[in-house]
Amino acid sequence: MKTLPVIALSMSLVITACAGKEAQMEKDQTMTNKVVKTDTEWKEQLTEMQYYVTREKGTERAFTGTYWDSKEPGIYSCVCCGQDLFLSDTKFDAGCGWPSYFKPLKEGIIKEQKDTSLGMVRTEVLCARCDAHLGHVFPDGPPPTGLRYCINSASLKFAPVELPE
Ligand SMILES: [Zn+2]
């Protein structure tokens, strides 16, 4: 007779666990609306440089990209999935030859992960929606965040927009 409550308890635990997982998955999907494509599909959509940078974690050479020196007002979005990533008023001249921003457009759109390639420890930043490699984030940016999102032009697509003051 003593086993009955135990079984009931463990069953309710299983049910709770499953419900929790489903809720989490739904949340992830609505938050990022995940975009998943095959390498072939990405290759068809992107230029060679865009594919190399975003899908193979490459880096364009400094001062060679389209946007490192651009100052036009507008929005920079992910070249792969179109998610809006940065506003021009968070862009600053870091003198490094890549477009640099002190913060993303909003929370949850950029994913960070540790990158130990090339004998360095850096924080890689990726598009949370399609996992495109964007660049790296460094703790040497200007106020208010003190962060420098150093992004490849090849990962971005710019649209001129009048930003509210
Ligand atoms: Zn993306």
**Residues 46-87: pLDDT tens digits?**
999 999 999 999 999 999 999 999 999 999 999 999 999 999
What is the average per-residue pLDDT within 23-37? 63
Q: What average pLDDT score do residues 28-33 get? A: 55
Residue 149: its pLDDT value, please? 98
Ligand 1: distance of its center to the CA of 81 in Å? 4
| 8-21 confidence digits (pLDDT tens) | 444 444 444 444 44
**Which tokens in the block code for residue 98?**
């890549």
C-alpha–C-alpha distance, residues 26 and 45, integer Å:
28
Mean pLDDT, residues 96-120:
96
Q: How far apart, in whole angstroms, are the C-alpha atoms of residue 21 and residue 88?
A: 37
pLDDT (0 to 100) of residue 162: 82
Indicate whether 2 pLDDT > 60: no
CA distances from 42 to 36, 54, 72, 77 (A): 10, 10, 28, 16
How far is the centre of ligand 1, averaged over its atoms, from the C-alpha of 1 (Å)?
56
Q: What is the reported pLDDT for 165?
A: 65
Any residues with CB less than 8 A from the CB of 12 and at least 6 apart, and which?
none
Is residue 78 part of the annotated active site? The answer reads: no
Tell whether the model's pLDDT for residue 7 goes beyond 50.
no
Short-list 95, 68, 86, 98, CA closest to 145: 86
Q: How far is the CA of 16 from the centre of ligand 1 (A)?
A: 33
Q: Which residues contact 130 (CB under 8 A, 6 or more apart)?
A: 34, 35, 36, 37, 78, 80, 81, 83
| Residue 154 CA to ligand 1 centre (angstroms) | 12
Report the share of the chain in percent with pLDDT over 70. 80
Residue 33: its pLDDT value, please? 83
Give 117 Cα–ligand 1 centroid separation in angstroms: 22
CA separation for the pair 132, 154 (Å, rounded): 11
